Amino acid sequence: MTYFFLKNFVLGPILRLLFRPWSRGTEHIPKSGGAILASNHLSFVDSIFLPLKVRRPVTFLAKSEYFNGKGIKGALIRWFFISTGQIPIDRSGGKASEDSLNTGLGVLERGLLLGIYPEGTRSPNSEMHRGRTGIARMALEAGVPVIPVAMIDTDKVQPLGAKYPKIHRVGVVIGEPLDFSRFAGMEGERAVLRSVTDQIVYNIHRLSNQKYEDVYASTVKSRIARAE
């Protein structure tokens, strides 16, 4: 109820007025049943504008730091994520990664839309990077389609390090669903997971027209940090 109210009567109208978001390909999203929306990740606001342009609710697996902030700002962010049905996950690796995978599978088993950023973190340089294979394993285990999504110009609304958003028009491009049912039962094979992940990232890249670098975004972040 809170999700519906915020999207349609509070935040939604304000965001539509200020940022005039446009979209293309929304007809590719199934009207019912579980599916993964696999998107590039340019900015924090991706998780706001993508659900705004999709009729059905979208659940994101959000990093736990968003739920642990202190002060008034932390409380507001925590309230927003909880109110919009986002789920905190621990991205420290190991068992935490397995738990995150199971959490995502639970969302899909309930027939919901799950939003995932295959790069694992937002791009530090507005380029597209190598995908993490967790999305492939989730898609194969759940047996759901993967729908590639490209967020356009959201990095111009809130670049890395910016305290406040800037007014700039943004877009959402949604591609045709990708069917990986031919790989059913092969979620334990690394080569298959890598192939499926690369296909997903390729389709996102094709929609976004970003420059692609075949390294993990986290590696690029570390490289930039060392150079500063």
**In the prediction, which pLDDT does 8 show?**
85
Q: How far apart are CA 146 and CA 217, in angstroms?
A: 21
Provide the H-helix boundaries in the chain: 2-5, 11-19, 46-52, 71-83, 95-109, 134-142, 190-208, 217-227
| Residues 15, 48 contacting (CB under 8 angstroms) | yes
Say whether 63 sits in a helix, a strand or coil: strand
- What phi-psi label fits residue 121: left (phi over 0), alpha (psi between -120 and 50 degrees) or beta? beta
Q: Which amino acid is at 140?
A: L
For residue 126, name the pLDDT band (cuts at 50, 70, 90).
very high
Average pLDDT, the chain: 91
**In the prediction, which pLDDT does 26 show?**
97
**In the prediction, which pLDDT does 1 show?**
61
Answer CATH for 33-227 from 3.40.1130.10, 3.10.20.740, 3.40.50.920, 3.40.50.1970: 3.40.1130.10
**Can you give the residue ranges of every domain in the chain?**
33-227
Stretch 164-179: mean pLDDT: 96
| Best CA proximity match to 122, nearest among 70, 203, 66, 178 | 66
Say whether 222 sits in a helix, a strand or coil: helix
Stretch 92-111: mean pLDDT: 84
Alpha-carbon dihedral angle through residues 151, 157, 160, 161, given to the nearest 10 degrees: -160
